[in-house]
């Protein structure tokens, strides 16, 4: 999720804000694709990216975290270069697991979206992340806990889960 867009849009002209957001979304998409991911949905402040869908990807969890770390740094540079009155930042909720893929082809162009508990969990834990923070769900953590440094948080209550979720 991109944090701070509402405040920024109120301080800039529509033209300036649109230009900055186009630049921002372009580098976000390119960075995700560089790491082998695919943006399945852009919705205002929310960006849904998947790694390993629609095609299998070796080390998808590692690449997802790599993209997130690089994007946090890229946003810092973006803010400095554009001398934004209100800096914008990212916060991430990442999880690993099975997803339901919906694919539609129109006018020869394929579009897809992902659904399911893995997607819901990632979205819900993102809400607990602070600006510039990456939160990993328990399945992602168990896959790559030895490859990155993690700090455990208190388990959080997550809609749809009986027990608080460790992140």
**pLDDT at residue 36 tops 90:** yes
Specify the pLDDT at position 61: 95
Query: What is the tens place of the pLDDT at every residue in 39-59?
Result: 988 888 999 999 998 777 889
Average pLDDT on 91-120 reads 89
pLDDT digit string, tens, across residues 118-131: 999 999 999 999 99
What pLDDT is recorded for position 50?
94
Is the pLDDT at 27 greater than 90, yes or no?
yes
What pTM, to 2 d.p., does this model score?
0.91
Confidence (pLDDT) at 111: 77
**Which whole number is the average pLDDT over 25-45?**
93
- Encode burial over 120-137: b for 16+ CB neighbours within 10 A, e otherwise: ebbbbbbebbeeebbbbb
């Amino acid at each position: 999720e991109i944090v701070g867009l509402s405040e920024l849009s109120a301080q800039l002209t529509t033209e300036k804000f649109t230009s900055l957001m186009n630049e921002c979304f372009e580098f976000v998409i390119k960075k995700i694709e560089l790491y082998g991911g695919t943006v399945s949905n852009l919705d205002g402040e929310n960006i849904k990216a998947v790694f390993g869908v629609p095609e299998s990807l070796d080390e998808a969890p590692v690449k997802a975290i790599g993209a997130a770390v690089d994007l946090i740094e890229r946003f810092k540079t973006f803010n400095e270069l554009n001398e934004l009155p209100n800096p914008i930042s990212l916060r991430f909720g990442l999880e690993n697991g099975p997803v339901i893929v919906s694919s539609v082809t129109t006018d020869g162009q394929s579009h897809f979206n992902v659904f399911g508990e893995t997607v819901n969990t990632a979205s819900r834990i993102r809400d607990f992340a602070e600006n510039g923070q990456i939160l990993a769900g328990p399945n992602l953590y168990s896959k790559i806990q030895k490859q990155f440094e993690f700090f455990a948080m208190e388990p959080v209550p997550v809609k749809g889960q009986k027990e608080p979720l460790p992140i």
